[in-house]
């Protein structure tokens, strides 16, 4: 099935009656439907509408009675509108909080979903050839104070300034050659990579990124590398996204929240870190306003790649990275 509309939140609040009417836009048209026109998605309906691949990729849960729940734990419903199928999740998310999501609008017979993956450096000793990071320490630093320079550990909110020395990194003697290079510094800001990665990534859309030339020494021999620095990308549609305050000292906190913009998001994260409980602020449902192939998700340490870029990495035999689910 073709994807006409990606997932987005239609309502979140304490007014249960707002769930009685489904209002959205589809391909430039305003659509208003009564909720009673939607049918609960069951196993039979699933087979009839061939939605299996979509539900599997979106982590829908099948109940014992054959009905389905969304990844947020809301019941799934569908409605056929001409050649289109609207799929929604709908109900009480937590006590007093009612939510409705347009999960997707589908058309046709060949459904292709846009997927993202978290990418990170693979620091497995079987890959790196050493028991710790391949890049660690500095080569003949002119000042020992370089070891206490916090620029190498900070999560940077702007591009690195010229005063940060990128010409004296040191490889472990046993480190193997990989395209992504594991390192003990600047891990919150990006990746050390070789020419192969720079050339490949340059063919794709990157958000708020810059390649910086670096030099690292192994057994007194210099090697030219690149540091791919990625700043927080302005990709989150905050009107449609939700976040989860979770955990705390007694794991008793569980609250779904939203923000108007990234500044509110950042201020809340800092405020929570200063509380005695120090709960986590996690992405719960993230809607994107743009779809680059590589970006850093704001207020996290997570870097994302598109399925297109994932396929290119695999086709070109790029080494030294791994992917994890989100």
In Å, what is the CA distance from 319 to each residue of 119, 180, 182, 260, 323?
12, 6, 11, 39, 12
Of 162, 197, 232, which closes a domain?
232
Give yes or no for residue 1 having a pLDDT over 50: no
Could you report the per-residue pLDDT of 247-281, keeping only the tens digit for each? 866 667 788 899 999 999 999 999 999 988 888 89
Instruction: Provide the domain count of the chain.
Output: 3
Is 281 among the domain residues? yes
One domain for residues 42 and 72: yes
One domain for residues 94 and 52: yes
**Element (DSSP H or E) covering residue 266:** helix 262-273
Of 58, 74, 107, which closes a domain?
107
Could you report the per-residue pLDDT of 151-206, keeping only the tens digit for each? 898 889 999 988 899 999 999 999 999 999 999 999 999 999 999 999 999 999 99
How far apart CA 323 and CA 310 sit, in angstroms, is: 9
Residue of 326, 304, 154, 172 lying closest to 233 (CA atoms) = 304
Whole-prediction pTM: 0.68
One domain for residues 219 and 246: no
Is 272 among the domain residues? yes
Q: Which residue has the tokens 């709908």?
A: 90
One domain for residues 100 and 144: no
Of 210, 232, 254, which closes a domain?
232
Note the pLDDT of residue 288: 78
Is 137 among the domain residues? yes
One domain for residues 193 and 228: yes
Is 318 among the domain residues? no
One domain for residues 151 and 212: yes
Is 127 among the domain residues? no
Is 139 among the domain residues? yes
**Element (DSSP H or E) covering residue 216:** strand 209-218
How far apart CA 136 and CA 83 sit, in angstroms, is: 58
One domain for residues 250 and 228: no
One domain for residues 207 and 144: yes
Bridge-partner residues for 21, per DSSP?
A: 34
Is 268 among the domain residues? yes
Phi, psi of 115 (to 5 degrees): -120, 150
Residue of 22, 63, 58 lying closest to 42 (CA atoms) = 63
How far apart CA 234 and CA 39 sit, in angstroms, is: 37
One domain for residues 264 and 208: no
How far apart CA 207 and CA 305 sit, in angstroms, is: 11
Whole domain around residue 267: which residue ranges? 242-287
Note the pLDDT of residue 175: 94
One domain for residues 75 and 7: yes
Is 227 among the domain residues? yes
One domain for residues 97 and 147: no
Give yes or no for residue 240 having a pLDDT over 50: yes
One domain for residues 158 and 94: no
């Amino acid at each position: 099935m073709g994807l006409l509309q990606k997932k987005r939140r239609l309502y979140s609040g304490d007014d249960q009656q707002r769930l009685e009417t489904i209002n959205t836009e589809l391909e430039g048209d305003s659509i208003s439907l009564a909720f009673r026109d939607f049918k609960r998605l069951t196993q039979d309906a699933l087979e009839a509408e061939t939605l299996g691949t979509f539900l599997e990729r979106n982590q829908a849960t099948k109940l014992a009675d054959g009905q389905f729940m969304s990844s947020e734990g809301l019941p799934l419903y569908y409605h056929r509108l001409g050649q289109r199928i609207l799929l929604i999740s709908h109900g009480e998310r937590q006590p007093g909080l009612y939510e409705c999501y347009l999960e997707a609008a589908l058309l046709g017979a060949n459904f292709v979903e846009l997927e993202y993956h978290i990418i990170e450096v693979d620091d497995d000793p079987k890959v790196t050839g050493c028991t710790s990071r391949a890049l660690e320490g500095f080569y003949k630093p002119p000042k020992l104070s370089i070891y206490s320079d916090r620029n190498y550990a900070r999560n940077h909110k702007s591009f690195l300034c010229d005063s940060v020395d990128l010409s004296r990194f040191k490889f472990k003697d046993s480190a193997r050659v990989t395209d992504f290079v594991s390192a003990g510094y600047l891990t919150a800001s990006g990746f050390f990579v070789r020419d192969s990665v720079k050339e490949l990534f340059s063919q794709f859309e990157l958000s708020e990124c810059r390649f910086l030339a670096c030099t690292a020494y192994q057994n007194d021999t210099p090697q030219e590398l690149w540091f791919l620095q990625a700043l927080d990308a302005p990709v989150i549609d905050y009107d449609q996204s939700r976040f989860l305050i979770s955990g705390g000292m007694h794991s008793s906190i569980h609250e779904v929240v939203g923000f108007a913009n990234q500044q509110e998001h950042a201020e809340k994260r800092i405020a929570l870190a200063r509380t005695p409980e120090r709960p986590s602020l996690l992405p719960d449902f993230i809607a994107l306003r743009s779809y680059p192939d590589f970006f850093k998700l704001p207020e996290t340490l997570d870097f994302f790649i598109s399925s297109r870029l994932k396929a290119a990495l695999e086709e070109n035999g790029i080494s030294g990275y791994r992917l994890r689910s989100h």
